[in-house]
Structure 1
Amino acid sequence: MDLTLTPNAVRMVRGFLKEHGETDEAGLRVAVLPGGCSGFQYGVDIDDAPEGDDEILMLDGIRVFVDPFSAQYLEGIEIDYMTSLMGSGFTFKNPQATGGCGCGSSFTV
């Protein structure tokens, strides 16, 4: 699976893992969830360990967990972490997305 974390995203995930009480099994879970006005939305969380059927990626020393449903929608995605006057958070550049909603929180393929 081709998934990329930018240097900003790597720095933030490492910080979140440290706050979470980093263990050898912990990692970043990236998921696609049904919802939003365009059909799908992204989810990111720190997880203690992978689930049995997760794909496990190692990116810049960070374990990334992706479930089988989400994997089909995350191929080729770039995850960044942005800070602006409007707030901060993870952003997603998905080459598979064919559209999105006006607020930018969901997408369609």
Structure 2
Amino acid sequence: MQVETATTQTEAPATPVLLTATAATEVRRYIEEQGAAESAGLRVGVLPGGCSGFQYGLNIEDEPGEDDMILESEGIRLFVDPFSLQYLNGTEIDYVSTFQGSGFTFNNPNASGGCGCGSSFTV
């Protein structure tokens, strides 16, 4: 008798964190306004806190940290630390403008819930 075993393999997205073209345009604008170095990039992070357990963090930095994964999306360098990467894998970052305001939004397939402010999430 032959027994077949089924295996499933989950593949990581080609780029674990993606910027939309609109978000990349805004990041470029911020980098230019700050007069950042050519090596500058966008730090994308997850921090404990917020009303749902975790919150997103974005910051322009001149250089990556020692243990950062350096990604590229839409011509922008992204610096992501290992802790954050586990929660951000497959996340798309967009920039939206509405009558109520404008800002970056996160479409995170790892989030199981969030809050009304859109800046914190649960996994």
Is TM (by shorter chain) over 0.5? Answer: yes
Of all paired residues, the percent bearing the same amino acid is 62
Amino acid at match of 1:104: G
Structure 2: how far apart are the matches of 1:84 and 1:8? 14
Give the CA deviation at 1:87.
Answer: 1.0
Give the CA deviation at 1:2.
Answer: 1.6
Give the CA deviation at 1:81.
Answer: 0.4
Matching of residue 11 in structure 1 with residue 25 in structure 2? yes
Q: Which has the higher strand share?
A: 1
Let me know the Cα RMSD of the aligned residues: 1.1
TM-score (normalised: structure 1): 0.94
Give the CA deviation at 1:37.
Answer: 1.3
Structure 1 segments of 4+ aligned residues over 4 angstroms from their partners: none
Deviations 1:21-64 (A, max 9, x none): 13222100000010111100001010111010000012222110
Deviations 1:64-94 (A, max 9, x none): 0001110000000000001111111100000
2:87 counterpart residue number: 73
Structure 1: how far apart are the matches of 2:78 and 2:57? 13
Matching of residue 52 in structure 1 with residue 82 in structure 2? no
Asked if structure 1 preserves the Cα contact closer than 8 Å seen for 2:20 and 2:74, the reply is no
| Unmatched 5+ stretches in structure 1 | none
| Unmatched 5+ stretches in structure 2 | 1-14
